[in-house]
């Protein structure tokens, strides 16, 4: 490769189809032409002026007989990261990622300086994991910034960051992070192998990778964990998990994932253990209510009304009198209404969303009951189930489908059907192992050591070992 | 796809209580009257001892499945005959559980509906669980076990207050003979350890804790005894007319309706227990069929088992009475052979073979040593 400072710039321009944001600047350096080539929107102007243009123009020392590229690299460029490229393609690829190329006339290599302008939004508390006590920092859309947030918490030489690019068109930067002595080697290798084998045009968000990382691709159930907070990611890595950070996404994926993870909350570790145990029990009850309550209600109303207490039965009979629909259609109608309201609510502008929820919840619900379209118990049951979804927000989408199935099964087979449905779900999940970790662990299989932080939580000093449910380096199970 | 020792203990526990709360208590009462509890106690203790005999064989078999192990001990033909015997035992248990479940559901929950509608989802569930293997059944058992136990204890404790302990006295009014007769006639309801044969090669003994298994077996015996005590205490001489122990106890203990709310929900948990047990024995049956006919895949045996299960839903009430007679005679012999004789035979044959093997290896070492000495002498002579 022989560089012609002007012609090579033209070649790059041609390669990028005369892209409007590609800029270049040519300067004379001891009689040799040097071209600087960069993508303006992603290049930091201040850095460009201070570390490249100014030193180039003002350099006055003697360089007779010396290679200009070496002089630039050793004595002129005031930049912390300078890369030498021996082919134009890789140089252009780096330029597209924020490097400024330095093309020296007659040289056989190209210099690249990382002058990427990092545009990040302010660090804010993520809306998906709000805490009362505890760190409020959340990830942003910048991978570099996210790594900085993690590095701030991790000051160990054991922490590993493996970086590579994915996406033919987007060349999105991906970082796989883990603790070398804690994470299970085979899990790390499996994750890296899967990620590197991805052939895709672009990775817009971390969720693009989820289907490549899941074992059961078409399953309803979540198999890859996610978090928006660096403190949670670090805690998960300390248990042996691997994190996957995608540039442009504030959601970091974690592997392996077990069902219990969503039952836990970062707040749990910053509160009193007794309170946490109580809250976790509530969450478990919430899950059961969320998924099964409408189904059980339908089953009781259609098949097993004899077992209801007489007073309750009379109340239900009174309130359902004159309803034009069967109980099944009635519940289905309310669920559908609830789902539509939910979808509309989360996508509406915030100022409008508040008004909408009042209209939806109060006016529509009240009017539907008054008009005799639905009964108050049906509205109450669906509303209660709907609210309890968000006790575990990470599983809300799965729960809504399961609830619908529960209603259909409850209406067609009664309580017997619902019980079989529960056993079926348990049986299905029992075989759902994710990266050497049993999905239902530490309940099935029962792991005694992990009970300290499962449905109940003991104090931090009592949790002396890393969880056995998560595949991790066996020789490093003891925390301290 | 191995299961750990704790899971094995839980499956054993579930198997020990599986058939005990259906028609068995009323059948036992026909002959052994107020001593029925002791018949159950004695047979369950024997079953408990046999668990360890079969587990010992399992450990000796290493990674071999039961068919390979039996073939190495008894030869191919005898092994196949024994497999037929085990198939009969599993088939009988499946029939009994499925019929029990049917009557339980129809009597308690859906008196106006056709059972056939309800059997289809059960078939799907059982088929799925067998397909996924023993680890799946073990993990589900782990999840549901304690809910079932709490339910059973709740029912028993709720009804306990209405029992007159003195009604059990005097003991041994007719001597020991009725107890022995009763034990023999109804032995087919026991033999709770036979499922272990199909788990050869599937158990990870690294976490073995015998005490844990003993605890689970004792716990199963205590729960059965508690419920029998409540059952006989509540119904006394009318016990034989109450065909389904578990539902009848909860109905009798209810104060203001046929079944009160909580009891009803608790009783419903029994459906889960039966479904899991059905899956366990269906898995055993599918495995035995696989070994008997050298079937390679899993699908065909599963289809056969499912069709067999479906067949039971066509058998009506009258046939069930015949089946009970059948259970008291033919099934007793099958159970005696499959659970109580077979493990002993296998232990003896294994011991003899092992000793022979030891002897032959000793002889081989001796011969080799002699040969070495002879060679040395020959070398000296040559020098």
pLDDT tens across A324-343, in order?
888 899 999 999 988 888 88
A423 with A277, same domain: the answer is yes
Q: Among A288-297, B277-286, B316-325, which stretch is predicted with the lowest mean pLDDT? A: B316-325
Residue B30: predicted pLDDT: 81
A243 with A274, same domain: the answer is no
* Token pair 């084998």: residue: A197
A193 with A95, same domain: the answer is no
Q: Among B131-140, B197-206, B335-344, which stretch is predicted with the lowest mean pLDDT? A: B335-344
pLDDT tens across A136-146, in order?
899 999 998 99
Closest residue in chain B to residue A413, using alpha carbons only: B118
How far apart (Å, rounded) are the C-alpha atoms in residues B38 and B381?
Answer: 78
Long-range contacts of A218-223 (CB under 8 A, 24+ apart): A219/A432, A220/A398, A220/A401, A220/A402, A221/A259, A221/A398, A221/A429, A221/A432, A221/A439, A222/A257, A222/A262, A222/A394, A222/A395, A222/A398, A223/A257, A223/A432, A223/A434, A223/A439
A359 with A228, same domain: the answer is no
Instruction: Tell me the Cα Rg of chain B.
Output: 24
Q: Is residue A316 very low, low, confident or very high in pLDDT (cuts 50, 70, 90)? A: confident
Task: Decide if A427 and B129 are in contact by the 8 Å CB cutoff.
Answer: yes
**Residue positions counted in chain B:** 383
Over residues B288-301, the mean pLDDT reads 93
How far apart (Å, rounded) are the C-alpha atoms in residues A303 and B108?
Answer: 11
pTM for the predicted model, two decimal places: 0.87
Q: How many domains does chain B have?
A: 1
With contact defined as beta carbons under 8 Å apart, do A284 and A395 qualify? no
* Within a domain: A229: yes
Percent of chain B predicted with pLDDT > 70: 86
Closest residue in chain A to residue B126, using alpha carbons only: A424
Q: Which residues of B touch A (CB under 8 A)?
A: 4, 6-7, 105, 109-110, 117-118, 121-122, 124-125, 128-129, 132, 135-136, 139-140, 142-144, 257-261, 264, 268-269, 271-272, 275-276
User: Which domain CATH number covers B144?
Assistant: 1.20.1740.10
* Within a domain: A130: no
* Within a domain: A458: no
A45 with A110, same domain: the answer is yes
Which three-class secondary structure state does DSSP give residue A216? coil
Over residues B327-335, the mean pLDDT reads 77
**Domain of A417, in residue numbers:** 269-430
Q: Assess whether pLDDT exceeds 50 at residue B161.
A: yes
* Within a domain: B355: no
Over residues A29-43, the mean pLDDT reads 91
* Within a domain: B364: no
How far apart (Å, rounded) are the C-alpha atoms in residues A270 and A249?
Answer: 27
* Within a domain: A437: no
* Within a domain: A457: no
In this structure, the dihedral spanned by the alpha carbons of residues B115, B116, B122 and B128, taken in order and rounded to 10 degrees, is 170
Q: Which residues of A touch B (CB under 8 A)?
A: 303-304, 306-309, 413-417, 419-420, 422-424, 426-428, 430-431, 438, 440, 443-446
* Within a domain: B57: yes
Judging contacts by C-beta atoms under 8 Å, the chain B residues touching residue A426 are 139-140, 143-144
Task: Decide if B257 and A440 are in contact by the 8 Å CB cutoff.
Answer: no
Q: How many domains does chain A have?
A: 3
* Within a domain: A308: yes
Q: Is residue B209 very low, low, confident or very high in pLDDT (cuts 50, 70, 90)? A: confident
* Within a domain: A183: yes
Q: Assess whether pLDDT exceeds 80 at residue B373.
A: no
Over residues A444-463, the mean pLDDT reads 87
Task: Decide if B264 and A304 are in contact by the 8 Å CB cutoff.
Answer: yes
Which residue in B237, B238, B234 sits closest to B251, CA to CA? B234
A72 with A23, same domain: the answer is yes
Over residues A171-181, the mean pLDDT reads 94
Task: Decide if A446 and B109 are in contact by the 8 Å CB cutoff.
Answer: no
Q: Assess whether pLDDT exceeds 80 at residue B288.
A: yes
Task: Decide if A413 and B118 are in contact by the 8 Å CB cutoff.
Answer: yes
Residue A353: predicted pLDDT: 63
A106 with A19, same domain: the answer is yes
CB atoms within 10 A of CB A357: 15
Residue B255: predicted pLDDT: 44
How far apart (Å, rounded) are the C-alpha atoms in residues B169 and B187?
Answer: 25
With contact defined as beta carbons under 8 Å apart, do B87 and B285 qualify? yes
CA distances from A23 to A17, A75, A101, A109, A190 (A): 13, 25, 11, 20, 41
How far apart (Å, rounded) are the C-alpha atoms in residues B100 and B252?
Answer: 19
- For residue B129 the two structure tokens come to 């669980």
Task: Decide if B142 and A416 are in contact by the 8 Å CB cutoff.
Answer: no
* Within a domain: B90: yes
* Distinct helix (H) and strand (E) counts, chain A: 16, 10
Over residues B113-142, the mean pLDDT reads 91
A290 with A217, same domain: the answer is no
The average confidence (pLDDT) of chain A is: 88
Pairing between β-strand A252-255 and β-strand A172-179 as defined by DSSP bridges: unpaired
A301 with A168, same domain: the answer is no
Q: Among A153-167, A383-397, B122-136, B305-319, which stretch is predicted with the lowest mean pLDDT? A: B305-319
> Which of A430, A448, A473 delimits the end of a domain?
A430
Q: Assess whether pLDDT exceeds 90 at residue A199.
A: yes
* Within a domain: B100: yes
* Within a domain: B370: no
**Domain of B205, in residue numbers:** 3-347
A281 with A402, same domain: the answer is yes
Closest residue in chain B to residue A448, using alpha carbons only: B6
A318 with A221, same domain: the answer is no
How far apart (Å, rounded) are the C-alpha atoms in residues B120 and A417?
Answer: 11
Q: Among A298-302, A423-427, B52-56, B232-236, which stretch is predicted with the lowest mean pLDDT? A: B232-236
A353 with A253, same domain: the answer is no
Residue B379: predicted pLDDT: 52
Q: Which residue has the higher pLDDT, A252 or A369?
A: A252
Q: Is residue B155 very low, low, confident or very high in pLDDT (cuts 50, 70, 90)? A: confident
Helix (H) or strand (E) segment spanning residue A179: strand A172-179
How far apart (Å, rounded) are the C-alpha atoms in residues A87 and A82?
Answer: 15
Q: Assess whether pLDDT exceeds 50 at residue B256.
A: no
* Within a domain: A469: no
> Which of A114, A131, A155 delimits the end of a domain?
A114
Task: Decide if B4 and A416 are in contact by the 8 Å CB cutoff.
Answer: no
Q: Assess whether pLDDT exceeds 80 at residue A192.
A: yes
Q: Assess whether pLDDT exceeds 70 at residue B365.
A: no
> Among partner residues A306, A420, A445, which is closest to B142 by beta-carbon distance?
A445
Task: Decide if A443 and B125 are in contact by the 8 Å CB cutoff.
Answer: no
């Amino acid at each position: 490769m022989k560089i012609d400072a002007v012609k090579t710039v033209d070649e790059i321009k041609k390669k990028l189809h005369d892209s409007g944001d590609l800029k270049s600047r040519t300067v004379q350096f001891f009689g040799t032409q040097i071209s600087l080539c960069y993508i303006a929107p992603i290049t930091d102007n201040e850095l460009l002026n201070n570390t490249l243009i100014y030193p180039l123009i003002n350099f006055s020392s003697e360089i007779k007989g010396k290679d200009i590229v070496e002089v630039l690299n050793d004595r002129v460029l005031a930049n912390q990261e300078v890369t030498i490229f021996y082919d134009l393609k890789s140089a252009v690829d780096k330029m597209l990622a924020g490097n400024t190329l330095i093309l020296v006339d007659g040289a056989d290599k190209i210099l690249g300086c990382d002058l990427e302008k990092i545009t990040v939004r302010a660090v804010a508390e993520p809306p998906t994991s709000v805490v009362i006590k505890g760190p409020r920092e959340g990830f942003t859309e910048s991978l570099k910034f996210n790594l900085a947030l993690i590095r701030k918490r991790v000051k160990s030489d054991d922490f590993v960051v493996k970086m590579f690019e994915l996406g033919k068109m987007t060349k999105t930067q991906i970082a796989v992070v883990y603790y070398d002595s804690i994470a299970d080697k085979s899990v790390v290798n499996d994750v890296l192998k899967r990620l590197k084998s991805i052939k895709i045009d672009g990775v817009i968000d971390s969720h693009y990778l989820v289907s490549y990382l899941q074992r059961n691709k078409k399953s309803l159930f979540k198999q890859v964990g996610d978090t928006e907070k660096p403190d949670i990611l670090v805690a998960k890595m300390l248990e042996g998990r691997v994190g996957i950070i995608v540039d442009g996404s504030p959601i970091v994926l974690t592997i392996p994932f077990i069902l219990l993870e969503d039952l836990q909350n970062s707040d749990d570790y910053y509160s009193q253990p007794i309170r946490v145990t109580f809250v976790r029990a509530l969450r478990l009850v919430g899950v059961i209510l969320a998924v099964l309550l409408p189904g059980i209600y339908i089953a009781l109303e259609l098949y097993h009304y004899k077992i209801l207490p007489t007073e309750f039965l009379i109340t239900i009979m009174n309130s359902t009198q004159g309803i034009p629909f069967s109980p099944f259609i009635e519940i289905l109608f309310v669920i559908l209404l609830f789902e539509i309201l939910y979808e509309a609510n989360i996508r509406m502008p915030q100022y409008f969303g508040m008004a909408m929820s009042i209209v939806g919840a109060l006016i529509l619900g009240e009017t539907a009951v008054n008009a005799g379209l639905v009964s108050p118990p049906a509205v109450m049951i669906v509303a209660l189930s709907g609210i309890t979804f968000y006790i575990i927000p990470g599983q809300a989408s799965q729960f809504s489908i399961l609830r619908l199935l529960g209603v259909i099964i409850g209406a067609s087979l009664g309580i017997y059907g619902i019980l079989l449905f529960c056993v079926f779900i348990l049986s299905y999940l029992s075989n759902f192992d994710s990266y050497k970790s049993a999905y239902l662990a530490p309940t099935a299989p029962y792991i005694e050591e992990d009970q300290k932080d499962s449905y109940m939580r003991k104090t931090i000093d009592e949790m002396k070992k890393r969880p056995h449910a998560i595949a991790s380096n066996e020789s490093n199970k003891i925390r301290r | 796809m191995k299961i750990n020792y704790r899971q094995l203990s839980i499956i054993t526990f579930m198997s020990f209580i599986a058939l005990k709360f259906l028609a068995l208590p009323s059948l036992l009462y026909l002959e052994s009257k107020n001593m029925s509890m002791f018949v159950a106690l004695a047979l369950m203790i024997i079953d408990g001892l046999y668990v360890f005999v079969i587990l010992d064989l399992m450990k000796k078999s290493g990674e071999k499945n039961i068919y390979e192990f039996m073939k190495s001990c008894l030869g191919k033909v005898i092994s196949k005959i024994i497999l037929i015997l085990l198939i009969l035992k599993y088939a009988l248990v499946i029939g009994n559980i499925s019929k029990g479940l049917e009557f339980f559901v129809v009597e308690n929950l859906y008196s106006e509906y056709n059972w056939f509608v309800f059997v289809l989802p059960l078939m799907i569930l059982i088929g799925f669980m067998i397909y996924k293997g023993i680890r799946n059944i073990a993990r589900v058992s782990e999840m549901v076990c304690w809910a079932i136990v709490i339910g059973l204890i709740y029912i028993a404790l709720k009804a306990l207050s209405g029992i007159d302990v003195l009604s059990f006295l005097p003991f041994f009014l007719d001597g020991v003979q009725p107890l022995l007769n009763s034990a023999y006639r109804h032995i087919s309801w026991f033999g709770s350890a036979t499922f272990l044969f199909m788990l050869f090669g599937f158990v990870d003994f690294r976490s073995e804790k015998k005490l844990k298994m003993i605890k689970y077996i004792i716990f199963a015996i205590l729960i059965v005894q508690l419920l029998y005590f409540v059952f006989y205490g509540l119904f006394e001489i009318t016990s034989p007319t109450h065909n389904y122990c578990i539902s009848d106890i909860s109905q009798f203990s209810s104060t203001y309706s046929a079944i009160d709310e909580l009891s009803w929900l608790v009783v419903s948990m029994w459906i889960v227990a039966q479904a899991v047990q059905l899956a366990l024995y269906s898995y055993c049956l599918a495995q035995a069929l696989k070994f008997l006919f050298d079937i390679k895949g899993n699908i065909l045996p599963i289809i056969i088992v499912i069709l067999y299960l479906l067949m039971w839903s066509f058998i009506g009430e009258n046939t069930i009475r015949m089946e009970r007679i059948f259970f008291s005679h033919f099934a007793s012999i099958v159970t005696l052979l499959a659970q109580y004789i077979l493990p002993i035979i296998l232990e003896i044959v294994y011991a003899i073979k092992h000793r022979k093997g030891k002897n032959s290896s000793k002889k081989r070492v001796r011969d080799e040593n002699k040969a070495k000495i002879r060679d040395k002498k020959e070398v000296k002579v040559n020098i």
